């Protein structure tokens, strides 16, 4: 199996977080969000992606071990351990993801090639292209 560059995982996480932000923006509480089937299911899927990408970053020591909790939560979602608590999901999507993104921005990983690849893969998705353009600008400012 080919090893994937860490920059691709970081971009995957940014895309997943952006999607979650768009999926959840119209909700004010965990219960309303839980009962909105499409947004709930889509968000859970993106949390799985974040957990999987984070697991790869942890294996290469690219992120702090404290983010193991993200992988553990992904495992709970995937395997249905004790169900998924909507209040925990709500807390994650409204508070914790922004903190994670902040930490990812401080990594010394060049994202330019990964952003370009993601632009090609998402060439017909204006929302993701907008995110990638913003991420590219931010990445250039930090270097």
Query: What is the DSSP annotation of 86-126?
Result: HHHHHHIIIIIHHHHHHHHHTS----HHHHHHHHHHTTT-H
Give me the pLDDT at residue 84, please.
87
Which is nearest to 54 in space by CA: 14, 2, 108, 110? Answer: 14
pLDDT at 18 over 70: yes
Domain ranges, ordered by start, for the chain: 6-142
Tell me the catalytic residues.
74, 79
Average pLDDT over residues 67-86: 87
| Residue with token string 């931010």 | 138
Give me the pLDDT at residue 108, please.
87
pLDDT at 127 over 60: yes
Quote the pTM value: 0.91
**Could you read off the pLDDT of 97-123 as tens digits, one per residue?**
999 999 999 888 999 999 999 999 999
Average pLDDT over residues 8-17: 97
Confidence grade of residue 1 (pLDDT, cut at 50, 70, 90): very low
Cβ count within 10 A of residue 25:
8
**Could you read off the pLDDT of 39-71 as tens digits, one per residue?**
999 999 999 999 999 999 999 999 999 999 999
Which is nearest to 100 in space by CA: 42, 38, 53, 30? Answer: 53
Give me the pLDDT at residue 94, please.
96
């Amino acid at each position: 199996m080919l090893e994937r560059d860490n920059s691709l995982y970081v971009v995957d996480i940014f895309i997943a977080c952006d999607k979650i932000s768009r999926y959840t923006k119209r909700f004010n509480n965990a219960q309303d969000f839980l009962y909105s089937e499409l947004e709930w299911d889509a968000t859970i899927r993106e949390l799985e992606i974040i957990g999987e990408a984070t697991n790869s970053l942890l294996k290469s020591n690219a992120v702090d071990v404290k983010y193991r909790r993200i992988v553990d939560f992904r495992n709970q979602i995937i395997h249905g351990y004790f169900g998924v608590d909507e209040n925990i999901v709500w807390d994650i999507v409204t508070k914790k993801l922004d903190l994670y993104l902040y930490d990812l921005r401080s990594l010394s990983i060049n994202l330019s090639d990964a952003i370009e690849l993601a632009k090609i893969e998402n060439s017909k998705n204006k929302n993701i292209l907008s995110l990638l353009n913003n991420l590219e600008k931010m990445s250039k400012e930090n270097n």
